[in-house]
Amino acid sequence: MSKDRADRLAITALGLSGLLTGALLTLIVGHVLARGLPVIDAAFLLTAPERMGRAGGIFPSVVGTLAVTALAVAIATPLGVMTAVYLAEYTREGFFVRLCRFATAALAGIPSIIFGLFGFVLFVIRLGLGWSVLSGGLTLAIMILPIIIRTAEEAIRAVPRSWREISYALGGTRWQTVTRVVLPGALPGVLTGVMLGVARSVGETAAVILTAGTTLRLPRSPLDPVRTMAVHFFILAREGISMDQAYGTAAVLILLILGVNFVAYWLLGRITARRG
Amino acid sequence: MSTPLRACLVLACLLPLAAACRPPVRGTVITVAGSTSVLPFVEYLAAEYMHLFPDVGVNVQGGGSSAGIQAVLTGAADLGMSSRPLGAAEAAELGALPIAWDAIAIIVHHTNPVTTLTLDQVRAVFSGTAGDWADVGGRQGRVTVVTREQGSGTRGAFEEMVMRGLDTTERALVQDSNGAVREIVAADPAAIGYLSLGLVDDRVRALTLDGRPPTVEAVLTGRYELVRPFLFVLGSSPRPEVEAFVEFVLGEQAQALLAQEGLIPAAAVRGGR
Amino acid sequence: MRDERPVEMLLGLVALSTTTALVLIAVFIFIEGVPVIARVGPAQFLLGRRWAPDAGSFGIFNMLAGTVWVTVGALCLGVPLGLACAIFLSEVAPRPLARMLKPALELLAAIPSVVYGFMGVVVLVPLVRTTLGGPGFSVLAASAVLAVMILPTITSITYDSLRAVPDSYREGSLALGAGRWQTIAMVLMPAARPGILAGVILGTGRALGETMAVLMVAGNALRAPTSPLDPVRTLTANIALEMGYAQGEHRQALLATGLVLFVVIMAANSVALALSSRRAGEGG
């Protein structure tokens, strides 16, 4: 086979696989939106389900999703940002940093069902929090911590060295430099990490079903169980309760996650643009 | 920039604490936990109940019959839902009250020519000794057996009443809810499964067993025998709010709703099996 | 100047949060899982073929085998496609197109796994049943769904490693008269190999650990599969399927299943991390 023919063949094959992947993404998202969008309206989002989700809206699971996600992000963000500050600004490479990095990467690789089991054993059973917003939020917080640490650290490292030097030259302490110069500069990147954490929390099922429960009711306190949208979709679709309702829920989920990701990448684009 | 940022951080730290400290409204909340077979019906009734009494919250949670019974023993739940009778040790500490009866239907795809089987044939199919539909008088083709997971009350009842000590074939697909079993059987012309009679719809056909059709009438007259109780499990001294809810569930209106959903009212089979 | 040591110590303490979490997870899974393994005997637990919690038999061999079947299947389908996509984006597609497609591909990773599982049930399972036979819920269906799910991981990491290969390699190879494909296959891929391997291992980790999508399409039969068309139960599906109902020893046995999964995945990820840090070492 001649060199040129091999090239043409290979490039065609590569192009086709790129096309196949693109088509898969479009088909999956397109199918869900095509079936789900007609179901969505204000009433769908804002009213309670009737007869176990066969009709009505998905309001309790919207609230449940927001509650669990907000709690997870509220816990993971300060921890993650402080960790990132420490790794990027306060230490040199050494055993401690290697340990932190290994733990962060290892945590990122642990499957959600393990987080679910852990959350179930620790929060639900041992700490007696039961299936609740609190148990679910705490479990998700641990799960999204690595995402937030990694993006925050990258963003902090992307802040130009000269900014710090100016701050020190003006007599600023390290803490002042971090809080008044570095963090504001890294804010878009930090927010990107938070957004990615939100997307991961919203789409999670395995960890949430074991820790937040499946109760389809508006939570009245953080100790109440909830059914998040992802879990609601799982139950509706799997048990064939209502395909329309399932597609509608899935479409809300996908729109929410795509939207959040879009914001995240837009923010990320702004940083890279500034850096480049 | 720094002050709002710091304020945000502090707020973010305090938020979960504040949330955790807010006392839950225990006095008006009833927690029900247990069997996922009973769950959809109780959730339905709970919604009705909360509609009638908006200041009462009823949390209905799955977990399975055993988990529900355990939760009542430890006080984690006010009421347990069980689709199996209490064990001797459990019965010593707890009370059980049938809130309805549920028939288990053996279902096949609606196009399957097989409409009736004997219990022995069902046993042969589920244990794998009859692996082809032709073995039980159907079209040739491998049977896809669908069963429930280990620990499920429905599976326990099915094994006790049908399998009688025989193991279910390891080839069987295993699903963790009535609905999931129905979805598979509804989609696969070669499938057979079992579920609550109330969940049978027109995409699947419930088989006649030993010449006895799976209908509410046949259950009431005692002809169709794959019937099990749906139980509420209560501690020794339930709170008045809990008793009020139990009373509502056993009342005329709620029982009519259950019958509408395909269950057999508690009183109809009283003293039965 | 203000004394900053307290701040530094506080931050250092917080930086241990992931380490603490990792240790806590390991400790709790071990505490809950080890007693059953000890009672049953590690060999019997790992190699036993009978899983009948009601009868007190806890052997997870068939599920280990099932996990291997499904993961290997996912890699066979997902790795070639993932590598091809990465090469396409990095070496073939015009830069602006690549810059647009890469985030789009990463969105694939953000779609909830239950949506993939559902699409598998609606599209893939009937397709397998009607065209290839068997119940449709199968190793093949599970592997195909997983292949799509690990695609972003493999593509994204391979893409980054290919981009990290200096342009001088490309120019040198082309100047020596090699074709584009020869350059890709004989120069770029070997240069990017540690990164690609790390991507594949991380993808493997994701496939090993995926739960809900597999639970929905694999059929969860207890028998070990003998063909790609057989239904199969993975370690993860076993946990999710039975956890809701499990009590006492049954629950502990499921946590022990989680323990086995945890150990396997930590091992896989450690290898991937070692590989990627070696790459970083070489680069610096």
Per-residue pLDDT at C29: 94
Say if the Cβ atoms of C220 and B190 lie within 8 Å.
Answer: no
Domain span at residue C219 reads 61-283
Say if the Cβ atoms of B174 and C244 lie within 8 Å.
Answer: no
Q: CATH number of the domain that C76 lies in?
A: 1.10.3720.10
- A vs C: CB pairs below 8 A: 227
Per-residue pLDDT at B8: 47
CATH of B103-220, one of 3.40.190.10, 3.50.50.60, 3.40.50.300, 3.30.70.920: 3.40.190.10
Contact status of B40 with chain A (Cβ, < 8 Å) = yes
* Strand-strand pairing, B173-175 and B144-148: parallel
Question: Which residues on adjacent β-strands are paired with residue B81?
Answer: B34, B232
Domain ranges within chain B, ordered by starting residue: 3-101+229-270, 103-220
| Look-up of token digits 């399932």 | A246
Number of domains chain C contains: 1
Closest by Cβ to A83, choosing from C17, C116, C117: C17
CA C270, CA C198: separation in Å to the nearest integer? Answer: 10
With cut-offs at 50, 70 and 90, classify the pLDDT of residue B28: confident
- Residue of A269, A268, A218 whose CA lies nearest to A66: A218
CA B42, CA B46: separation in Å to the nearest integer? Answer: 6
With cut-offs at 50, 70 and 90, classify the pLDDT of residue A271: low
CA A83, CA A81: separation in Å to the nearest integer? Answer: 5
Per-residue pLDDT at C246: 75
- Please state the φ and ψ torsions of residue B249, each to the nearest 5 degrees: -65, -35
For A97, nearest residue in chain C (alpha carbons) = C15
Say if the Cβ atoms of A149 and C113 lie within 8 Å.
Answer: no
pLDDT in tens, B146-203: 999 987 888 988 998 999 889 999 999 999 888 999 999 999 999 999 998 888 989 9
For the residues A59-72, what does the mean pLDDT come to?
96
Closest by Cβ to B5, choosing from A134, A184, A220: A184
Look at residue C281 and tell me whether its pLDDT is greater than 50. Answer: no
Asked, for residue C249, whether it belongs to a domain, the answer is yes
Per-residue pLDDT at A170: 92
Say if the Cβ atoms of A28 and C119 lie within 8 Å.
Answer: yes
Say if the Cβ atoms of C101 and A18 lie within 8 Å.
Answer: yes
ipTM of this complex prediction, to 2 decimal places = 0.91
pLDDT in tens, B213-229: 998 888 888 888 899 88
For C130, nearest residue in chain B (alpha carbons) = B188
- Using CB atoms, which chains have 3+ pairs under 8 A with B? A, C
pLDDT in tens, B63-109: 778 778 888 988 888 999 998 888 888 888 899 999 999 999 999 99
What CATH number belongs to A49-275? 1.10.3720.10
Handedness of CA A102, A108, A109, A110 (dihedral sign): positive
**Between residues B32 and C108, the one the model is more confident about:** B32
Per-residue pLDDT at C191: 93
Per-residue pLDDT at A149: 95
Per-residue pLDDT at C25: 96
Determine the longest span between alpha carbons in chain A, in angstroms: 72
Is there a contact between C18 and A145 (Cβ–Cβ < 8 Å)? yes
Say if the Cβ atoms of A90 and C11 lie within 8 Å.
Answer: yes
pLDDT in tens, A139-168: 999 999 999 999 999 999 989 999 999 999
Query: What architecture is domain B3-101+229-270?
Result: 3-Layer(aba) Sandwich (3.40)
For the residues C127-137, what does the mean pLDDT come to?
93
**Distance, C-alpha B7 to centroid of its chain:** 49
Say if the Cβ atoms of B22 and A75 lie within 8 Å.
Answer: no
Helix axes A243-275, A3-36, angle to 10 degrees: 130
Per-residue pLDDT at B237: 85
- Please state the φ and ψ torsions of residue C60, each to the nearest 5 degrees: -105, 15
Chain B contacts to C (CB-CB under 8 A): 36, 62-67, 70, 144, 149-152, 156, 167, 170-176, 183-184, 187-188, 190-191
pTM of the model: 0.88
Q: Where are the alpha helices (DSSP H) in chain C?
A: 5-15, 17-40, 42-47, 61-87, 95-110, 113-119, 125-132, 139-164, 167-175, 180-182, 189-191, 193-209, 212-217, 235-243, 248-283
With cut-offs at 50, 70 and 90, classify the pLDDT of residue A49: confident
Contact status of B183 with chain A (Cβ, < 8 Å) = yes
- Using CB atoms, which chains have 3+ pairs under 8 A with C? A, B
